[in-house]
Chain A
Amino acid sequence: MAWAKDTARGPVPGVNARPRTDLPVLLPFGGTAGGTGLFQRFDGRLFVDLKARHGLWLAALIILWAGAAEAAAPGTFIWTIESLFDWAPFILEGFVLNILISVFAMAIGTVAGAALGLMQVSLLLPVRTGSWIVTQFFRNSPWLVLLFCIMLLFPFEIDLGFVIIPIPDWMKAVIGFALPVMANLSEVVRGAVQSLPSGQWESAESLAFTRRQTLWMIILPQCIKRMIPPWINWYCILTMATPLASIMGVEESVTHTVQAMNALGDRPELLGPFYFFLLFIHFIYTYPIARWSISLERKFAVKI
Protein backbone atom coordinates (compact mmCIF):
# COMPACT_ATOMS: atom_id res chain seq x y z
CA MET A 1 0.00 0.00 0.00
CA ALA A 2 1.24 3.41 -0.89
CA TRP A 3 1.27 5.71 2.06
CA ALA A 4 1.57 9.42 1.45
CA LYS A 5 4.90 10.33 2.97
CA ASP A 6 4.92 14.07 3.46
CA THR A 7 2.21 15.93 5.21
CA ALA A 8 2.57 18.92 7.42
CA ARG A 9 1.72 16.92 10.53
CA GLY A 10 4.24 14.17 9.86
CA PRO A 11 3.39 10.50 9.78
CA VAL A 12 0.11 9.58 11.49
CA PRO A 13 -0.39 5.82 11.89
CA GLY A 14 -3.35 4.59 9.93
CA VAL A 15 -3.68 7.84 8.00
CA ASN A 16 -0.43 8.42 6.20
CA ALA A 17 1.70 5.66 7.71
CA ARG A 18 1.38 1.93 8.26
CA PRO A 19 -0.97 1.39 11.21
CA ARG A 20 0.68 0.20 14.43
CA THR A 21 -2.02 -2.11 15.67
CA ASP A 22 -3.09 -5.70 15.47
CA LEU A 23 -6.77 -4.96 15.87
CA PRO A 24 -8.43 -6.02 12.63
CA VAL A 25 -10.90 -3.16 12.86
CA LEU A 26 -8.08 -0.64 12.54
CA LEU A 27 -6.38 -2.41 9.67
CA PRO A 28 -7.09 -1.21 6.15
CA PHE A 29 -9.68 -3.39 4.47
CA GLY A 30 -8.20 -5.46 1.69
CA GLY A 31 -10.04 -7.87 -0.52
CA THR A 32 -8.66 -11.37 -0.25
CA ALA A 33 -10.30 -13.64 -2.79
CA GLY A 34 -9.42 -12.77 -6.35
CA GLY A 35 -11.99 -12.86 -9.07
CA THR A 36 -9.91 -11.81 -12.02
CA GLY A 37 -6.95 -13.04 -14.00
CA LEU A 38 -6.08 -16.64 -13.38
CA PHE A 39 -9.08 -17.22 -11.14
CA GLN A 40 -12.52 -17.11 -12.63
CA ARG A 41 -15.58 -17.52 -10.55
CA PHE A 42 -19.03 -18.50 -11.53
CA ASP A 43 -22.01 -19.63 -9.50
CA GLY A 44 -19.95 -20.40 -6.45
CA ARG A 45 -17.46 -22.38 -8.46
CA LEU A 46 -13.91 -21.43 -9.04
CA PHE A 47 -11.95 -22.45 -12.04
CA VAL A 48 -8.60 -21.50 -13.38
CA ASP A 49 -8.25 -19.57 -16.56
CA LEU A 50 -5.25 -21.43 -17.94
CA LYS A 51 -3.16 -19.51 -20.43
CA ALA A 52 -0.24 -20.58 -22.60
CA ARG A 53 2.27 -19.14 -20.11
CA HIS A 54 0.98 -21.49 -17.42
CA GLY A 55 1.83 -24.35 -19.72
CA LEU A 56 5.34 -22.91 -19.98
CA TRP A 57 5.66 -22.83 -16.19
CA LEU A 58 4.57 -26.45 -16.08
CA ALA A 59 7.07 -27.36 -18.80
CA ALA A 60 9.84 -25.57 -16.85
CA LEU A 61 8.86 -27.49 -13.72
CA ILE A 62 8.96 -30.79 -15.58
CA ILE A 63 12.36 -30.00 -17.09
CA LEU A 64 13.65 -29.10 -13.63
CA TRP A 65 12.32 -32.37 -12.25
CA ALA A 66 13.79 -34.27 -15.20
CA GLY A 67 17.18 -32.66 -14.57
CA ALA A 68 17.08 -33.64 -10.91
CA ALA A 69 16.06 -37.20 -11.74
CA GLU A 70 18.75 -37.50 -14.39
CA ALA A 71 21.37 -36.19 -11.98
CA ALA A 72 20.29 -38.73 -9.36
CA ALA A 73 20.42 -41.73 -11.68
CA PRO A 74 22.23 -40.96 -14.94
CA GLY A 75 20.74 -42.53 -18.05
CA THR A 76 17.55 -43.88 -16.60
CA PHE A 77 15.45 -40.79 -17.01
CA ILE A 78 16.26 -40.34 -20.68
CA TRP A 79 15.47 -44.02 -21.19
CA THR A 80 12.16 -43.67 -19.36
CA ILE A 81 11.07 -40.73 -21.47
CA GLU A 82 12.14 -42.50 -24.64
CA SER A 83 10.07 -45.54 -23.67
CA LEU A 84 7.14 -43.29 -22.88
CA PHE A 85 7.39 -41.80 -26.36
CA ASP A 86 7.59 -45.28 -27.87
CA TRP A 87 4.54 -46.50 -26.00
CA ALA A 88 2.44 -43.33 -26.05
CA PRO A 89 0.60 -44.33 -29.26
CA PHE A 90 -0.33 -47.64 -27.63
CA ILE A 91 -1.69 -45.89 -24.52
CA LEU A 92 -3.55 -43.35 -26.67
CA GLU A 93 -5.05 -46.23 -28.62
CA GLY A 94 -6.45 -47.49 -25.31
CA PHE A 95 -7.70 -44.01 -24.54
CA VAL A 96 -9.68 -44.01 -27.79
CA LEU A 97 -11.58 -47.00 -26.41
CA ASN A 98 -12.25 -44.98 -23.23
CA ILE A 99 -13.83 -42.28 -25.35
CA LEU A 100 -15.74 -44.83 -27.38
CA ILE A 101 -17.13 -46.49 -24.25
CA SER A 102 -18.10 -43.11 -22.80
CA VAL A 103 -19.86 -42.00 -26.01
CA PHE A 104 -21.83 -45.22 -26.37
CA ALA A 105 -22.72 -45.37 -22.67
CA MET A 106 -23.79 -41.74 -22.78
CA ALA A 107 -26.00 -42.36 -25.82
CA ILE A 108 -27.72 -45.36 -24.24
CA GLY A 109 -27.90 -43.67 -20.84
CA THR A 110 -29.42 -40.52 -22.31
CA VAL A 111 -32.19 -42.29 -24.17
CA ALA A 112 -33.01 -44.60 -21.24
CA GLY A 113 -32.62 -41.78 -18.72
CA ALA A 114 -34.95 -39.45 -20.62
CA ALA A 115 -37.59 -42.17 -20.76
CA LEU A 116 -37.16 -43.00 -17.07
CA GLY A 117 -37.22 -39.33 -16.12
CA LEU A 118 -40.46 -38.73 -18.00
CA MET A 119 -41.92 -41.80 -16.31
CA GLN A 120 -41.05 -40.18 -12.99
CA VAL A 121 -43.35 -37.26 -13.77
CA SER A 122 -46.14 -39.50 -15.03
CA LEU A 123 -49.64 -39.08 -13.65
CA LEU A 124 -49.99 -42.83 -13.10
CA LEU A 125 -48.91 -43.76 -9.60
CA PRO A 126 -47.51 -47.26 -10.42
CA VAL A 127 -45.39 -45.86 -13.27
CA ARG A 128 -44.13 -43.05 -11.07
CA THR A 129 -43.30 -45.33 -8.15
CA GLY A 130 -41.74 -48.01 -10.34
CA SER A 131 -39.49 -45.59 -12.17
CA TRP A 132 -38.57 -43.90 -8.89
CA ILE A 133 -37.44 -47.22 -7.42
CA VAL A 134 -35.40 -48.07 -10.53
CA THR A 135 -33.80 -44.62 -10.48
CA GLN A 136 -32.91 -44.76 -6.80
CA PHE A 137 -31.54 -48.28 -7.11
CA PHE A 138 -29.13 -47.48 -9.93
CA ARG A 139 -28.28 -44.05 -8.56
CA ASN A 140 -27.27 -45.33 -5.16
CA SER A 141 -25.33 -48.44 -6.17
CA PRO A 142 -21.59 -48.08 -6.62
CA TRP A 143 -20.53 -47.91 -10.27
CA LEU A 144 -18.04 -50.70 -9.76
CA VAL A 145 -20.66 -53.06 -8.35
CA LEU A 146 -22.95 -52.39 -11.33
CA LEU A 147 -20.04 -52.92 -13.69
CA PHE A 148 -19.12 -56.23 -12.07
CA CYS A 149 -22.75 -57.27 -12.16
CA ILE A 150 -23.11 -56.66 -15.89
CA MET A 151 -19.70 -58.07 -16.76
CA LEU A 152 -20.23 -61.32 -14.88
CA LEU A 153 -23.95 -61.94 -15.27
CA PHE A 154 -24.50 -60.70 -18.80
CA PRO A 155 -24.08 -63.37 -21.49
CA PHE A 156 -21.03 -63.03 -23.73
CA GLU A 157 -23.18 -63.84 -26.74
CA ILE A 158 -26.88 -63.70 -27.51
CA ASP A 159 -28.36 -66.66 -29.37
CA LEU A 160 -31.32 -65.53 -31.43
CA GLY A 161 -31.90 -69.02 -32.84
CA PHE A 162 -30.76 -68.22 -36.36
CA VAL A 163 -27.82 -65.98 -35.53
CA ILE A 164 -25.44 -65.68 -32.57
CA ILE A 165 -24.52 -62.14 -31.68
CA PRO A 166 -21.26 -61.99 -29.74
CA ILE A 167 -21.00 -59.22 -27.16
CA PRO A 168 -17.43 -58.04 -26.68
CA ASP A 169 -16.21 -57.10 -23.21
CA TRP A 170 -16.15 -53.39 -23.90
CA MET A 171 -19.75 -53.48 -25.09
CA LYS A 172 -20.74 -55.06 -21.79
CA ALA A 173 -18.81 -52.30 -20.03
CA VAL A 174 -20.86 -49.80 -22.05
CA ILE A 175 -24.05 -51.28 -20.62
CA GLY A 176 -22.55 -51.36 -17.13
CA PHE A 177 -21.74 -47.64 -17.35
CA ALA A 178 -25.01 -46.73 -19.05
CA LEU A 179 -27.08 -47.90 -16.06
CA PRO A 180 -25.88 -45.38 -13.44
CA VAL A 181 -25.81 -42.65 -16.10
CA MET A 182 -29.40 -43.49 -16.96
CA ALA A 183 -30.51 -43.19 -13.33
CA ASN A 184 -28.70 -39.90 -12.79
CA LEU A 185 -29.99 -38.37 -16.02
CA SER A 186 -33.46 -39.53 -15.03
CA GLU A 187 -33.10 -37.34 -11.94
CA VAL A 188 -31.85 -34.48 -14.10
CA VAL A 189 -34.93 -34.71 -16.32
CA ARG A 190 -37.29 -34.95 -13.36
CA GLY A 191 -35.60 -32.04 -11.63
CA ALA A 192 -35.71 -29.88 -14.76
CA VAL A 193 -39.39 -30.60 -15.40
CA GLN A 194 -40.29 -29.88 -11.79
CA SER A 195 -38.16 -26.74 -11.65
CA LEU A 196 -40.37 -24.97 -14.18
CA PRO A 197 -42.92 -22.64 -12.61
CA SER A 198 -46.34 -24.28 -12.33
CA GLY A 199 -47.76 -21.29 -14.22
CA GLN A 200 -46.39 -22.85 -17.40
CA TRP A 201 -48.59 -25.91 -16.90
CA GLU A 202 -51.59 -23.87 -15.88
CA SER A 203 -51.45 -21.44 -18.79
CA ALA A 204 -50.99 -24.36 -21.22
CA GLU A 205 -54.04 -25.98 -19.70
CA SER A 206 -56.06 -22.81 -20.07
CA LEU A 207 -55.06 -22.71 -23.74
CA ALA A 208 -56.52 -26.21 -24.11
CA PHE A 209 -53.24 -28.03 -24.64
CA THR A 210 -53.43 -31.72 -23.77
CA ARG A 211 -50.96 -33.06 -21.25
CA ARG A 212 -48.83 -34.62 -23.97
CA GLN A 213 -48.83 -31.41 -26.00
CA THR A 214 -47.92 -29.39 -22.93
CA LEU A 215 -45.03 -31.68 -22.17
CA TRP A 216 -43.62 -31.84 -25.71
CA MET A 217 -44.34 -28.33 -26.92
CA ILE A 218 -44.04 -26.19 -23.79
CA ILE A 219 -42.28 -27.91 -20.91
CA LEU A 220 -39.51 -29.94 -22.56
CA PRO A 221 -38.26 -27.19 -24.92
CA GLN A 222 -37.69 -25.02 -21.85
CA CYS A 223 -36.11 -27.89 -19.94
CA ILE A 224 -33.54 -28.74 -22.60
CA LYS A 225 -31.63 -25.57 -21.85
CA ARG A 226 -31.51 -26.37 -18.16
CA MET A 227 -30.52 -29.96 -18.76
CA ILE A 228 -27.57 -29.40 -21.06
CA PRO A 229 -25.01 -28.25 -18.44
CA PRO A 230 -25.72 -31.14 -16.02
CA TRP A 231 -25.79 -33.49 -19.00
CA ILE A 232 -22.27 -32.46 -19.99
CA ASN A 233 -21.23 -32.69 -16.37
CA TRP A 234 -22.45 -36.28 -16.26
CA TYR A 235 -20.56 -37.00 -19.44
CA CYS A 236 -17.38 -35.83 -17.67
CA ILE A 237 -18.12 -38.02 -14.66
CA LEU A 238 -18.79 -40.97 -16.96
CA THR A 239 -15.55 -40.45 -18.89
CA MET A 240 -13.65 -40.34 -15.62
CA ALA A 241 -15.29 -43.61 -14.58
CA THR A 242 -14.33 -45.53 -17.74
CA PRO A 243 -10.87 -46.57 -16.41
CA LEU A 244 -12.80 -48.87 -14.07
CA ALA A 245 -13.32 -51.13 -17.07
CA SER A 246 -9.62 -52.02 -16.83
CA ILE A 247 -10.44 -54.06 -13.71
CA MET A 248 -12.53 -56.29 -15.92
CA GLY A 249 -9.74 -56.62 -18.48
CA VAL A 250 -11.16 -54.29 -21.11
CA GLU A 251 -8.26 -53.08 -23.24
CA GLU A 252 -8.54 -49.40 -22.42
CA SER A 253 -5.97 -46.82 -21.39
CA VAL A 254 -5.12 -48.14 -17.91
CA THR A 255 -4.82 -51.71 -19.18
CA HIS A 256 -2.59 -50.52 -22.01
CA THR A 257 -0.43 -48.49 -19.62
CA VAL A 258 0.08 -51.50 -17.38
CA GLN A 259 0.81 -53.70 -20.40
CA ALA A 260 3.34 -51.18 -21.68
CA MET A 261 5.12 -51.15 -18.32
CA ASN A 262 5.07 -54.97 -18.27
CA ALA A 263 6.64 -55.05 -21.69
CA LEU A 264 9.40 -52.75 -20.47
CA GLY A 265 10.21 -55.08 -17.61
CA ASP A 266 8.17 -53.50 -14.80
CA ARG A 267 10.97 -51.18 -13.73
CA PRO A 268 9.86 -48.96 -10.83
CA GLU A 269 11.16 -45.74 -12.40
CA LEU A 270 8.57 -46.17 -15.17
CA LEU A 271 5.63 -45.87 -12.79
CA GLY A 272 5.83 -42.11 -12.29
CA PRO A 273 6.03 -40.93 -15.91
CA PHE A 274 3.54 -43.50 -17.21
CA TYR A 275 0.84 -42.87 -14.63
CA PHE A 276 1.46 -39.14 -14.92
CA PHE A 277 0.97 -39.38 -18.68
CA LEU A 278 -2.24 -41.31 -18.11
CA LEU A 279 -3.60 -38.64 -15.75
CA PHE A 280 -2.47 -36.00 -18.21
CA ILE A 281 -4.35 -37.35 -21.24
CA HIS A 282 -7.50 -37.78 -19.19
CA PHE A 283 -7.17 -34.23 -17.88
CA ILE A 284 -6.56 -32.80 -21.35
CA TYR A 285 -9.76 -34.45 -22.55
CA THR A 286 -12.02 -33.73 -19.57
CA TYR A 287 -10.96 -30.22 -18.58
CA PRO A 288 -12.12 -28.40 -21.76
CA ILE A 289 -15.47 -30.19 -21.59
CA ALA A 290 -15.90 -29.17 -17.95
CA ARG A 291 -15.02 -25.59 -18.87
CA TRP A 292 -17.51 -25.70 -21.71
CA SER A 293 -20.26 -26.90 -19.37
CA ILE A 294 -19.57 -23.98 -17.02
CA SER A 295 -19.64 -21.45 -19.86
CA LEU A 296 -22.91 -22.92 -21.15
CA GLU A 297 -24.39 -22.72 -17.68
CA ARG A 298 -23.40 -19.06 -17.53
CA LYS A 299 -24.94 -18.47 -20.94
CA PHE A 300 -28.19 -20.19 -20.05
CA ALA A 301 -28.46 -18.60 -16.61
CA VAL A 302 -31.55 -16.53 -17.33
CA LYS A 303 -34.34 -15.95 -14.91
CA ILE A 304 -37.81 -16.84 -16.08
Chain B
Amino acid sequence: MLEEIAPFFQNLYDESGWNFIIFYEEYEYDRFIEAVWVSLKLIVACLLFSLVVGIVGAWAQGAKSRFVRLFMAGYIQVFRNTPPFVQLLFFYFVLGSGLERLGIMPMTDAGGYFEPAIGSFGWAVIALGFFAGAFNTEIFRSGIEAVPTSTQEAAEALGYTRLKSYIHVIFPLAFRVCLPALNNNLVNLLKTTTLAYGIAVPEMMYTANQIWSDNVNVPEMMIVLFIYYIVLVAVLVWAMHKWERKMRIPGYG
Protein backbone atom coordinates (compact mmCIF):
# COMPACT_ATOMS: atom_id res chain seq x y z
CA MET B 1 0.00 0.00 0.00
CA LEU B 2 2.66 2.46 1.12
CA GLU B 3 4.91 1.73 -1.88
CA GLU B 4 2.15 2.69 -4.28
CA ILE B 5 1.19 6.02 -2.74
CA ALA B 6 4.59 7.07 -1.40
CA PRO B 7 6.03 8.47 -4.67
CA PHE B 8 2.98 10.69 -5.19
CA PHE B 9 3.08 12.22 -1.72
CA GLN B 10 6.86 12.50 -1.73
CA ASN B 11 6.55 14.35 -4.99
CA LEU B 12 3.78 16.54 -3.59
CA TYR B 13 6.02 17.50 -0.69
CA ASP B 14 9.01 18.26 -2.90
CA GLU B 15 7.01 20.39 -5.29
CA SER B 16 4.42 22.17 -3.17
CA GLY B 17 5.60 21.75 0.41
CA TRP B 18 2.46 19.93 1.54
CA ASN B 19 3.95 17.47 3.98
CA PHE B 20 1.67 14.43 4.21
CA ILE B 21 4.48 12.52 5.90
CA ILE B 22 2.18 9.71 7.01
CA PHE B 23 1.75 8.68 3.37
CA TYR B 24 5.38 8.39 2.33
CA GLU B 25 7.45 7.59 5.41
CA GLU B 26 7.31 4.10 6.81
CA TYR B 27 7.58 5.02 10.51
CA GLU B 28 4.87 7.68 10.42
CA TYR B 29 2.71 5.49 8.18
CA ASP B 30 2.84 2.67 10.72
CA ARG B 31 1.98 5.09 13.49
CA PHE B 32 -1.00 6.34 11.49
CA ILE B 33 -2.30 2.84 10.70
CA GLU B 34 -1.93 1.86 14.36
CA ALA B 35 -3.94 4.96 15.32
CA VAL B 36 -6.66 4.06 12.82
CA TRP B 37 -6.86 0.63 14.42
CA VAL B 38 -7.02 1.91 17.98
CA SER B 39 -9.58 4.55 17.15
CA LEU B 40 -11.79 2.08 15.25
CA LYS B 41 -11.57 -0.37 18.14
CA LEU B 42 -12.40 2.44 20.56
CA ILE B 43 -15.39 3.57 18.52
CA VAL B 44 -16.82 0.06 18.10
CA ALA B 45 -16.28 -0.79 21.77
CA CYS B 46 -17.90 2.48 22.91
CA LEU B 47 -20.86 2.04 20.56
CA LEU B 48 -21.51 -1.53 21.71
CA PHE B 49 -21.06 -0.75 25.38
CA SER B 50 -23.34 2.29 25.19
CA LEU B 51 -26.00 0.19 23.46
CA VAL B 52 -25.81 -2.45 26.20
CA VAL B 53 -26.05 0.26 28.86
CA GLY B 54 -28.99 1.77 27.01
CA ILE B 55 -30.93 -1.48 26.67
CA VAL B 56 -30.34 -2.60 30.25
CA GLY B 57 -30.96 0.92 31.52
CA ALA B 58 -34.25 1.32 29.69
CA TRP B 59 -35.38 -2.00 31.13
CA ALA B 60 -34.26 -1.05 34.63
CA GLN B 61 -36.05 2.28 34.38
CA GLY B 62 -39.40 0.51 34.31
CA ALA B 63 -38.44 -1.81 37.16
CA LYS B 64 -40.81 -2.42 40.04
CA SER B 65 -38.25 -1.49 42.66
CA ARG B 66 -38.36 2.16 43.57
CA PHE B 67 -34.68 2.08 44.47
CA VAL B 68 -33.66 0.85 41.01
CA ARG B 69 -35.74 3.54 39.33
CA LEU B 70 -34.30 6.21 41.61
CA PHE B 71 -30.79 4.99 40.86
CA MET B 72 -31.41 5.05 37.11
CA ALA B 73 -32.89 8.54 37.22
CA GLY B 74 -29.89 9.77 39.19
CA TYR B 75 -27.47 8.12 36.77
CA ILE B 76 -29.16 9.69 33.76
CA GLN B 77 -29.31 13.18 35.24
CA VAL B 78 -25.71 13.16 36.41
CA PHE B 79 -24.31 11.84 33.13
CA ARG B 80 -26.42 14.11 30.98
CA ASN B 81 -25.68 17.29 32.89
CA THR B 82 -21.95 17.09 33.53
CA PRO B 83 -19.16 17.58 30.99
CA PRO B 84 -18.15 14.29 29.33
CA PHE B 85 -14.51 15.32 29.50
CA VAL B 86 -14.64 15.73 33.28
CA GLN B 87 -16.48 12.41 33.52
CA LEU B 88 -13.65 10.79 31.62
CA LEU B 89 -11.04 12.34 33.93
CA PHE B 90 -13.12 11.30 36.94
CA PHE B 91 -13.30 7.68 35.80
CA TYR B 92 -9.66 7.46 34.87
CA PHE B 93 -8.03 9.36 37.70
CA VAL B 94 -10.45 8.79 40.56
CA LEU B 95 -11.89 5.34 39.93
CA GLY B 96 -8.87 3.97 38.07
CA SER B 97 -6.24 5.07 40.54
CA GLY B 98 -8.61 4.48 43.47
CA LEU B 99 -9.16 0.85 42.56
CA GLU B 100 -5.45 0.39 42.13
CA ARG B 101 -4.66 1.90 45.51
CA LEU B 102 -7.27 -0.25 47.19
CA GLY B 103 -5.73 -3.26 45.46
CA ILE B 104 -9.03 -4.30 43.90
CA MET B 105 -7.90 -3.76 40.34
CA PRO B 106 -6.59 -6.99 38.80
CA MET B 107 -3.13 -6.62 37.32
CA THR B 108 -1.97 -8.24 34.12
CA ASP B 109 1.55 -9.27 33.23
CA ALA B 110 2.77 -7.00 30.44
CA GLY B 111 6.11 -8.66 29.84
CA GLY B 112 8.21 -8.08 32.92
CA TYR B 113 6.09 -5.49 34.67
CA PHE B 114 2.51 -5.40 35.80
CA GLU B 115 -0.11 -3.01 34.57
CA PRO B 116 -3.76 -2.56 35.57
CA ALA B 117 -6.23 -4.75 33.68
CA ILE B 118 -8.25 -1.65 32.78
CA GLY B 119 -5.89 0.85 31.21
CA SER B 120 -6.65 4.21 29.63
CA PHE B 121 -8.37 2.48 26.70
CA GLY B 122 -10.64 0.53 29.02
CA TRP B 123 -11.56 3.57 31.07
CA ALA B 124 -12.28 5.54 27.91
CA VAL B 125 -14.70 2.82 26.80
CA ILE B 126 -16.34 2.71 30.23
CA ALA B 127 -16.64 6.48 30.70
CA LEU B 128 -17.80 7.30 27.18
CA GLY B 129 -20.04 4.23 27.14
CA PHE B 130 -21.79 5.33 30.31
CA PHE B 131 -22.03 8.90 29.00
CA ALA B 132 -23.67 7.89 25.73
CA GLY B 133 -25.53 5.11 27.52
CA ALA B 134 -27.41 7.69 29.59
CA PHE B 135 -28.72 9.22 26.37
CA ASN B 136 -29.39 5.78 24.87
CA THR B 137 -31.42 4.82 27.94
CA GLU B 138 -33.67 7.80 27.39
CA ILE B 139 -33.92 7.09 23.67
CA PHE B 140 -34.84 3.44 24.18
CA ARG B 141 -37.33 4.32 26.88
CA SER B 142 -39.05 6.85 24.66
CA GLY B 143 -39.24 4.08 22.05
CA ILE B 144 -40.71 1.68 24.58
CA GLU B 145 -43.29 4.27 25.56
CA ALA B 146 -44.23 4.64 21.92
CA VAL B 147 -45.26 0.96 21.82
CA PRO B 148 -49.01 0.90 22.49
CA THR B 149 -50.07 -0.36 25.92
CA SER B 150 -52.42 -2.78 24.21
CA THR B 151 -49.41 -4.57 22.70
CA GLN B 152 -47.90 -4.99 26.16
CA GLU B 153 -51.25 -6.23 27.46
CA ALA B 154 -51.63 -8.62 24.56
CA ALA B 155 -48.22 -10.08 25.35
CA GLU B 156 -49.20 -10.33 29.00
CA ALA B 157 -52.45 -12.07 28.05
CA LEU B 158 -50.44 -14.62 26.09
CA GLY B 159 -48.55 -15.47 29.25
CA TYR B 160 -45.30 -13.61 28.56
CA THR B 161 -43.41 -12.58 31.65
CA ARG B 162 -42.14 -9.02 31.89
CA LEU B 163 -38.68 -9.98 30.68
CA LYS B 164 -39.92 -12.22 27.89
CA SER B 165 -42.39 -9.67 26.59
CA TYR B 166 -39.62 -7.08 26.70
CA ILE B 167 -37.27 -9.28 24.68
CA HIS B 168 -39.71 -10.71 22.15
CA VAL B 169 -42.42 -8.09 21.72
CA ILE B 170 -41.73 -4.64 23.13
CA PHE B 171 -38.08 -4.17 22.34
CA PRO B 172 -38.15 -5.18 18.66
CA LEU B 173 -40.94 -2.67 18.07
CA ALA B 174 -39.42 0.05 20.26
CA PHE B 175 -36.04 -0.33 18.59
CA ARG B 176 -37.50 0.52 15.20
CA VAL B 177 -39.19 3.61 16.60
CA CYS B 178 -36.06 4.99 18.20
CA LEU B 179 -33.53 4.20 15.44
CA PRO B 180 -33.39 7.78 14.08
CA ALA B 181 -32.70 9.26 17.53
CA LEU B 182 -30.23 6.46 18.24
CA ASN B 183 -28.48 7.20 14.97
CA ASN B 184 -28.01 10.80 16.09
CA ASN B 185 -26.60 9.82 19.45
CA LEU B 186 -24.20 7.25 18.01
CA VAL B 187 -22.82 9.85 15.59
CA ASN B 188 -22.35 12.08 18.60
CA LEU B 189 -20.56 9.31 20.48
CA LEU B 190 -18.28 8.68 17.52
CA LYS B 191 -17.21 12.31 17.62
CA THR B 192 -16.89 12.23 21.40
CA THR B 193 -14.34 9.39 21.28
CA THR B 194 -11.73 12.05 20.43
CA LEU B 195 -11.96 13.03 24.10
CA ALA B 196 -9.93 9.92 24.90
CA TYR B 197 -7.03 12.15 23.90
CA GLY B 198 -7.32 13.61 27.40
CA ILE B 199 -6.23 10.36 29.05
CA ALA B 200 -3.60 9.51 26.42
CA VAL B 201 -5.37 6.74 24.53
CA PRO B 202 -3.28 6.47 21.36
CA GLU B 203 -6.22 7.00 19.01
CA MET B 204 -6.40 9.22 15.96
CA MET B 205 -6.48 12.63 17.64
CA TYR B 206 -3.64 11.76 19.99
CA THR B 207 -1.42 10.29 17.30
CA ALA B 208 -2.10 13.17 14.93
CA ASN B 209 -0.97 15.50 17.67
CA GLN B 210 2.25 13.49 18.10
CA ILE B 211 2.87 13.45 14.37
CA TRP B 212 2.45 17.19 13.93
CA SER B 213 4.57 17.84 17.00
CA ASP B 214 7.38 15.80 15.43
CA ASN B 215 7.05 17.06 11.87
CA VAL B 216 5.46 20.51 12.20
CA ASN B 217 2.78 19.74 9.61
CA VAL B 218 -0.32 20.92 11.47
CA PRO B 219 -2.48 21.96 8.48
CA GLU B 220 -1.85 18.69 6.65
CA MET B 221 -2.69 16.54 9.68
CA MET B 222 -5.77 18.67 10.31
CA ILE B 223 -7.00 17.90 6.81
CA VAL B 224 -6.36 14.20 7.41
CA LEU B 225 -8.24 14.37 10.74
CA PHE B 226 -11.24 16.13 9.23
CA ILE B 227 -11.44 13.70 6.32
CA TYR B 228 -11.01 10.72 8.64
CA TYR B 229 -13.85 11.70 10.98
CA ILE B 230 -16.21 12.90 8.29
CA VAL B 231 -15.75 9.64 6.38
CA LEU B 232 -16.38 7.64 9.57
CA VAL B 233 -19.53 9.64 10.35
CA ALA B 234 -20.72 9.22 6.77
CA VAL B 235 -20.17 5.45 6.91
CA LEU B 236 -22.00 5.17 10.24
CA VAL B 237 -24.94 7.26 9.02
CA TRP B 238 -25.11 5.28 5.78
CA ALA B 239 -25.04 1.95 7.62
CA MET B 240 -27.67 3.06 10.12
CA HIS B 241 -29.97 4.30 7.37
CA LYS B 242 -29.58 1.04 5.51
CA TRP B 243 -30.34 -0.88 8.67
CA GLU B 244 -33.34 1.32 9.35
CA ARG B 245 -34.75 0.58 5.89
CA LYS B 246 -34.07 -3.11 6.25
CA MET B 247 -35.82 -3.36 9.62
CA ARG B 248 -38.85 -1.38 8.54
CA ILE B 249 -42.11 -3.24 9.05
CA PRO B 250 -44.52 -2.33 6.26
CA GLY B 251 -47.46 -0.48 7.73
CA TYR B 252 -45.83 0.09 11.09
CA GLY B 253 -44.47 3.49 12.11
Contacts and interface: CB of A to CB of B under 8 A. Distances in A.
B10 interface: no
Nearest to A147: B194
B230 interface: yes
B64 A32 contact: yes
B86 A24 contact: no
B238 interface: no
A71 interface: no
Contacts of A145: 194, 205, 222, 225-226, 229
Interface stretch (A78-86, A111-119, A166-174, A234-242): A234-242
Interface in B50-73: 61-64, 66, 69-70, 73
24 contacts: A24-B161, A25-B158, A33-B62, A44-B138, A45-B142, A48-B74, A142-B192, A144-B194, A145-B229, A148-B209, A149-B222, A152-B222, A153-B218, A153-B219, A239-B83, A241-B83, A243-B83, A247-B198, A271-B93, A271-B94, A275-B90, A278-B90, A279-B78, A283-B78
B230 A287 contact: no
A237 to B, nearest CB: 9
Interface in A19-55: 23-25, 30, 32-34, 38-39, 44-48
Contacts of B84: 240
B231 to A, nearest CB: 10
Closest 9 CB pairs of A and B: A44-B142, A142-B191, A240-B83, A144-B194, A142-B194, A286-B81, A140-B233, A243-B85, A243-B83
Given A39-B73, A144-B197, A282 B187 contact: no
A89 interface: no
Interface in B133-149: 138, 141-142, 145-146
Given A24-B156, A243-B86, A140 B142 contact: no
Nearest to A26: B159
Given A39-B73, A141-B230, A282-B83, A153 B138 contact: no
Contact of A282 (B66, B86, B97, B161): B86
- What class of interface size applies to chain A in its complex with B? 35 or more
Nearest to A46: B73
A10 interface: no
A300 interface: no
B77 interface: yes
Nearest to B209: A148
Contacts of A290: 80-81
A140 B77 contact: no
A162 to B, nearest CB: 29
B182 interface: no
Contacts of B94: 271-272, 275-276
A144 B205 contact: yes
A38 B76 CA distance: 14
A77 interface: no
B1 interface: no
Nearest to A43: B142
B160 to A, nearest CB: 7
A244 B195 contact: yes
A137 interface: yes
A104 B195 CA distance: 23
Interface in B87-143: 87, 89-90, 93-94, 97-98, 101, 138, 141-142
Interface string A268-285: 100110011011001100
A24 B160 CA distance: 7
Nearest to A288: B81
Contacts, number: 139
A135 to B, nearest CB: 13
Interface residues of B, number: 59
A254 interface: yes
B69 A247 contact: no
Interface in A211-267: 236, 239-244, 246-247, 254
Nearest to A278: B86
A47 B226 contact: no
Contacts of B249: none
A140 B191 contact: yes
Contacts of A144: 194-195, 197, 205
Contacts of B198: 247
B86 A254 contact: yes
Contacts of B78: 279, 283
A148 B81 contact: no
B156 A25 contact: yes
Contacts of B191: 140-143
A39 B70 CA distance: 8
B58 to A, nearest CB: 10
A201 B1 CA distance: 56
B184 to A, nearest CB: 11
Nearest to A245: B85
Contacts of A149: 222, 226
A271 B209 CA distance: 27
A164 B186 CA distance: 44
Nearest to A280: B82
A236 B77 CA distance: 13
